[in-house]
A = this chain, B = another copy of it.
């Protein structure tokens, strides 16, 4: 999917919602545990109930890996289902990978070619040759961790490096990498005061913003500081949507929560004259 196709989907759906598929077998409705593949059954029901309200889905690979082979199988079924039945959806493998060059190429191949994700999250610590193998894929997107939503972000990311916070240096340096037009950046909603700084140095890039909802981030503040002239935002909510209920009504409850966020997004887009 191209940058402009994603923007078009946002304007059509009047939504820049990304739903995080962080499936925990201890939290999903107990009746699903009788299914042959409870993780996929849960994801399919959530997707079927919410796909008209969201433009992106983001499975975090940790949740799947923790269930071993059956987890990976469920992840493959989920991405295959999205690609086959909802090709207009932007898919994000939240994997936070990064390694030396020939090894990063392996990860890129795994997520882009083998599994068919549109994008993957990548950690910047190892620098240029750990990121460029991901950027080499045409019509795919590399979502670099810049400023994450967790408390540990203050350990290194906000500390000064050569006169600017590390997250800012990461963005500026990454924008010199080959095919940097395929970059997006993760900026946590819990750090909305920094969003304007990020937007100033990356005016055109999509920002993936986690942390709205369960982690306490505020949608209006995120849009105030982070939105650009083509929206340029994907705002993620995971637990607040997918675990809205753990009864038989879980998918409808998820849709209700997704709709609340979508309507807030629509109101913001309307107030800015963007739709």
- In residues 134-190 of chain A, which contact B (Cβ within 8 Å)? 145, 148-157, 159-162, 166, 169-170, 173
Distance A173 CA – B128 CA, assembled complex (angstroms) = 24
Assess whether A129 is in contact with B107, with CB atoms less than 8 Å apart: no
Task: Tell whether A270 is near chain B: CB-to-CB under 8 Å.
Answer: no
- In residues 54-103 of chain A, which contact B (Cβ within 8 Å)? 60, 62-63, 65-69, 72-73, 76, 96-101, 103
Distance A24 CA – B267 CA, assembled complex (angstroms) = 51
Assess whether A125 is in contact with B157, with CB atoms less than 8 Å apart: yes
Interface size on A, residues (CB 8 A): 54
Assess whether A148 is in contact with B66, with CB atoms less than 8 Å apart: no
Task: Tell whether A240 is near chain B: CB-to-CB under 8 Å.
Answer: no
Chain B residues lying within 8 Å of A104, measured Cβ to Cβ, are 62
Assess whether B150 is in contact with A110, with CB atoms less than 8 Å apart: no
Assess whether A129 is in contact with B110, with CB atoms less than 8 Å apart: no
Assess whether A156 is in contact with B130, with CB atoms less than 8 Å apart: no
Task: Tell whether A265 is near chain B: CB-to-CB under 8 Å.
Answer: no
CB closest chain-B residue, reference A22:
B103
A39 → chain B, closest Cβ, in Å? 13
Q: Which one of B65, B155, B159 contacts A107 once the chains associate, using CB atoms below 8 Å?
A: B65
Assess whether A103 is in contact with B63, with CB atoms less than 8 Å apart: yes
Assess whether B160 is in contact with A100, with CB atoms less than 8 Å apart: no
Distance A118 CA – B114 CA, assembled complex (angstroms) = 29
Contact A100:B169 (CB < 8 A) given known A76-B69, A127-B153, A127-B157:
no
Further contacts, 6 of them, CB under 8 A, given A130-B150, A160-B162: A62-B107, A66-B110, A100-B148, A100-B149, A124-B155, A159-B161
Binding site for B on A (CB under 8 A): 22, 60, 62-63, 65-69, 72-73, 76, 96-101, 103-104, 106-107, 109-110, 114-115, 123-131, 145, 148-157, 159-162, 166, 169-170, 173
